[in-house]
Amino acid sequence: MADILTPSAWLLALLQALLFPALAPLLVGWVRKVKARLQNRRGASVFQPYRELRKLLFKEARVAHTASPLFRAAPSVVFVATWLAAATVPLLTIDLPTAVVADIIVLVGLLALARVFLALAGMDVGTAFGGMGASREMMISALAEPAMLMAVFTLAMTAHSTNLGSVIAHHLGDAFVLRPSYLFAFAGLTLVALAETGRIPVDNPTTHLELTMVHEAMVLEYSGRHLALMELAAQIKLLLYGVLVANIFFPWGIATDPTPVSLAIGFGAILLKLALLGAALAVAETVLAKMRLFRVPAFLNLALLLSLLGLLSHVILEVGA
């Protein structure tokens, strides 16, 4: 493992890290496009999210009189923590130095860091909607984070490692063994991903009704480049969860050696997997309705239960066998 800390590996990690913000708006555009087609609309181009970000970057940022310095620092912190978290997820290859620097637990911790600053930013100006969004976000995450940890611990215990690269390598080495624990963890992690990225049925990213907002309520006061950073961070988070689900549970195609050919195959494979996942998300968002806020705990308890079942079925059924 130590041999992956080479300059070329770091370069590859840098490339991967840059791919995340580059691809994230595309995934969002793709999901929107598929959704529009499912609803018999033509929809905007898949590149529309890039244009929106560019528009925000060139707009004046407005900051409320009552805002503290934290308000202006928060977008950078949220963006940086989310991006670093994304950089630790194997996108093209499993030999990733950043996955050694920060393992799965650190990944969850970095996402929590971003979330805490997002919630604090929501409360900073002192408006009713900001506090409401922060309160709801922390309630959702309080239930989603343990479910996520349990799901990744199932994988970590199977692979005897909390290093994401090793987890994926272990799964690849398993060939096509179907583990019950993986099924549970997959279901749990998918539900968590929906909740954490603020998608229907937990939150609606396109809502215009303040009283139903969660994520949008926290960024209501942001504008200009601050908002651009917040939006891009949210898009990276969606891509991160997509890659996490795709590459952990369906790792086939990911590069195991750093040759250009296998990297190209890895890139093609992840694009294909993400396109399928994005389409699945669009279908789910079209057929499901957003839940009432107090139905969300039941949804997340299901996620926690599934993940815990995954871990228990692993330690009971699979360890001794």
Partner 1 sequence: MRIETALAIAGIAVALALGSAAVSLLAARFPKVVRFAAMPLTGLCGVAAILAGLGALLSGGAATATLPLGLPWLPWHVRIDALAGFFLLLIGLVTSAIGLYGPAYVRGLEQGRDSLVALGGFTGLFLAGMLLVVLADDAFLFMIAWEVMSLASYFLVAFQHEQAANRRAAFLYLLMAHVGGLSILLGFGVLASFGDGFAFASMRAAELSSVWASVAFGLVFIGFGMKAGLVPLHAWLPEAHPSAPSYISALMSGVMLKVAVYGFIRLVFDLIGDVQWTWGMAVLAIGSLSALTGALFALMQTDLKRLLAYSSVENLGIVFIALGLALIFIDTGHPLPGALAFVAALYHALNHALFKGLLFLGAGSILHSTHERDLEQMGGLLRRMPWTGLFFLIGCLSIAALPPFNGFVSEWLTFQAALQAWQLDSGVMRSLIPIATAVLALTGALVAATFVKVYGIAFLGQARSRHVRRARPGPWGIRAGQGLLAVLCVLLGLFPTLVIGLIDAVPRQLLGGGLPDAGSRGWLWLVPDAFETASYSAPLVTLLLIAIAVFVVWGLRRVGLRRVRRCDAWDCGFAPPTARMQYTATAFAQPIRRVFALLFRVEEAQVPRDDGGMRHQIKIGDRSWDALYLPLAGLVETAARRVVRLQSGNVRAYLGWTLLTLLVLLWIVSA
Residues 174-213 binding partner 1 (CB under 8 A) are 210
Helices 296-313, 128-159: axis angle to 10 degrees equals 10
236 binds partner 1 (CB under 8 A): no
Among 23, 34, 119, 234, binds partner 1 (CB under 8 A): 119
CA separation for the pair 109, 266 (Å, rounded) = 27
| C-alpha 310, offset from chain centre | 21
Q: What is the nearest approach in angstroms of partner 1 to the Cβ of residue 169? A: 10
19 binds partner 1 (CB under 8 A): no
Site for partner 1 in 24-83 (CB under 8 A): 57-70, 72, 76-77, 79-81, 83
User: How many positions of this chain bind partner 1 (CB under 8 A)?
Assistant: 90
Per DSSP, what are the bridge partners of residue 197? none
CA separation for the pair 92, 90 (Å, rounded) = 6
Structure tokens at 247: 């590459």
155 binds partner 1 (CB under 8 A): no
Q: What is the nearest approach in angstroms of partner 1 to the Cβ of residue 13? A: 10
Neighbouring residues of 110: CB distance < 8 A, sequence distance ≥ 6: 81, 82, 84, 85, 88, 102
Query: Of the ranges 97-105, 177-185, 192-200, 284-292, which one interacts with partner 1 (CB under 8 A)?
Result: 97-105
What is the identity of the amino acid at 194? L
172 binds partner 1 (CB under 8 A): no
Tell me how crowded residue 289 is: count the other CB atoms within 10 A of its CB.
Answer: 9
Confirm if 181 and 315 have CB atoms less than 8 A apart. no
Among 95, 221, 231, 285, binds partner 1 (CB under 8 A): 221
20 binds partner 1 (CB under 8 A): no
Per DSSP, what are the bridge partners of residue 93? 255
In the block, tokens 């952990």 appear at: 248
Query: Of the ranges 29-37, 156-164, 244-252, 269-277, which one interacts with partner 1 (CB under 8 A)?
Result: 156-164
Site for partner 1 in 249-288 (CB under 8 A): none
Which H/E stretch holds residue 159? helix 128-159
Q: What is the nearest approach in angstroms of partner 1 to the Cβ of residue 3? A: 10
Residue number with CB closer to partner 1 (141 or 190): 141
Residue number with CB closer to partner 1 (122 or 253): 122
167 binds partner 1 (CB under 8 A): no
